[in-house]
Amino acid sequence: MSARIRIAVDAMSGDLGPRVAISAAQIFVGRYPDVDLLLVGDESKLLPLLLKDNFRHTRVSVHHAADVIAMGDDPLLAMRHKKNSSMWVALDQLRSGAVDACVSAGNTGALLAIARFLVKTFPGVDRPAICKSMPVDVGFTYMLDLGANINCTAEQLYQFAKMGNVLAKSTGLLSPRVALLNIGAEEQKGTEVLQVARQFIAEDSGINCTGFVEANAIFSGAADVIVCDGFHGNIALKASEGVARFIQKKIIKTARKNTLNKILSVLAYPLLRQLRQELDPSSYNGASLLGLQKTVIKSHGNANVNAFLHALIVAREQVVQKVPALIQKEFQSY
């Protein structure tokens, strides 16, 4: 990796189109002078938007890709027939070494399939896992897998635990607490797969295994890394995002309910604003595809500017922390 960090942005994918990616890129390069961005997409659509915003930053360039993988496209068909898409071209830039990371808000299945084909996983890693930080009482916890792998073996859950452990350590934690998501914290609870996975993790001297954790303790800070299959992880993630938005709406609705509440809300505005920011799912956008040989970050499909900006920040952090290299080292003796 060169002294400068280079990130390819799949600027065309996602529900809201290139405007979000361009606006986030403009803020991002203003904050991080050590990063160059490569916006990948249709020049005929990207360049007018850049010119309209008078956005001519020397650290942002455009790489043409004529096609787009839609959210509803079949991942395997997209991989076979859309090699001129912004997603494919962005990931191919990563494969070739032209950039150090890739960020996309596009079709998750297609991103996983194309990334596995072009970027590839490390030896010893069966499948990449989607991992993101979740806010807790103090700090955050990492949770994986969040949707890449619906059915997992005990061995694969163990691999996820190893990768999550590496990621948590890269942030400065000396001995991250690693737990498996289960229907109960008792040792005898759960499926045979979970029981065997727990044994694998507990027997690894490099992992601080704390057993099982229930879903109602995800945000308690009881674990620094929470491991699960993609089916249950995705449900937990979507449910938590829904609850966060529900609480935000309730705060606004209650503040406007009557005159007294309006007066009190004005007095409490700084506190309410901080609470809304802390509960905002966009502040935690940007999921890592751990296990790939280079950094790939998945942004939420309907990410707004702030959310996409955070995904770019996550990409930069993981390049700086050299997370893929640390995972490779972890699995070399595995």
Query: Would you say 89 and 66 are in contact if contact means Cβ atoms under 8 Å apart?
Result: no
CA atoms within 13 A on the CB side of 116: 16
Residues 6+ apart with CB under 8 A from 205: none
Residue 271 structure tokens:
């506190």
Whether residues 162 and 233 fall in one domain: yes
CATH value at residue 36: 3.40.718.10
Residue 109 structure tokens:
């299945």
Give percent of the chain with pLDDT exceeding 90.
69
Query: Would you say 8 and 90 are in contact if contact means Cβ atoms under 8 Å apart?
Result: yes
**pLDDT (tens digit, 9 = 90+) per residue, 269-303?**
565 566 556 556 566 789 999 999 999 999 998 88
Query: Would you say 110 and 134 are in contact if contact means Cβ atoms under 8 Å apart?
Result: no
Q: Is 60 helix (H, G, I), strand (E, B) or coil?
A: strand
**pLDDT (tens digit, 9 = 90+) per residue, 192-213?**
999 999 999 999 999 999 999 9
Please state, in angstroms and rounded to a whole number, the distance separating the CA atoms of residues 127 and 156: 8
In the predicted structure, residue 3 carries a pLDDT above the cut 80: no
State the amino acid at position 159 in one-letter form: Q
If one compares 189 and 87, the residue with the highest pLDDT of the two is 87
Provide the mean pLDDT of the chain.
Answer: 89
Give percent of the chain with pLDDT exceeding 70.
90
- Stretch 44-68: mean pLDDT: 84
Please state, in angstroms and rounded to a whole number, the distance separating the CA atoms of residues 226 and 232: 12
- Please give the pLDDT value at position 1: 43
Whether residues 278 and 304 fall in one domain: no
Return the closest-CA partner of residue 101 out of 325, 328, 318: 318
Whether residues 275 and 314 fall in one domain: no
Angle at which helices 86-96 and 108-118 pack, to 10 degrees?
A: 30
Whether residues 219 and 313 fall in one domain: no
Which of 81-90, 133-142, 250-259 is the most confident on average? 81-90
If one compares 334 and 21, the residue with the highest pLDDT of the two is 21
Q: Is 128 helix (H, G, I), strand (E, B) or coil?
A: coil
If one compares 63 and 255, the residue with the highest pLDDT of the two is 63
Whether residues 242 and 322 fall in one domain: no
Whether residues 198 and 76 fall in one domain: no
- Stretch 93-103: mean pLDDT: 97
Please state, in angstroms and rounded to a whole number, the distance separating the CA atoms of residues 240 and 70: 26
- Please give the pLDDT value at position 264: 60
Whether residues 149 and 119 fall in one domain: no
Q: Read off the DSSP letter of residue 216.
A: G
Whether residues 111 and 132 fall in one domain: no
DSSP string, 95-161: HHTS-SEEEE-S-HHHHHHHHHHHT-BPTT-SS-EEEEEEE-SSSEEEEE-SSS-SS--HHHHHHHH
Q: Is 325 helix (H, G, I), strand (E, B) or coil?
A: helix
- Stretch 246-270: mean pLDDT: 69
Least confident range of 24-38, 105-119, 268-282, 296-310:
268-282
- Stretch 97-116: mean pLDDT: 96
Whether residues 48 and 73 fall in one domain: yes
Q: Read off the DSSP letter of residue 185.
A: S
Burial class (CB in 10 A: 0-12, 13-18, 19+), 184: exposed
Instruction: Give the count of domains, the chain.
Output: 2
Question: How many Cβ atoms sit within 10 Å of the Cβ of residue 111?
Answer: 31
Whether residues 269 and 300 fall in one domain: no
Question: For the CA atoms of 271, 272, 277, 281, what is the dihedral angle to 10 degrees?
Answer: 140
**pLDDT (tens digit, 9 = 90+) per residue, 144-178?**
999 999 999 999 999 999 999 999 999 999 999 99
- Please give the pLDDT value at position 11: 95
Domain that holds residue 12: 1-124+291-334
The residue length of the chain stands at 334
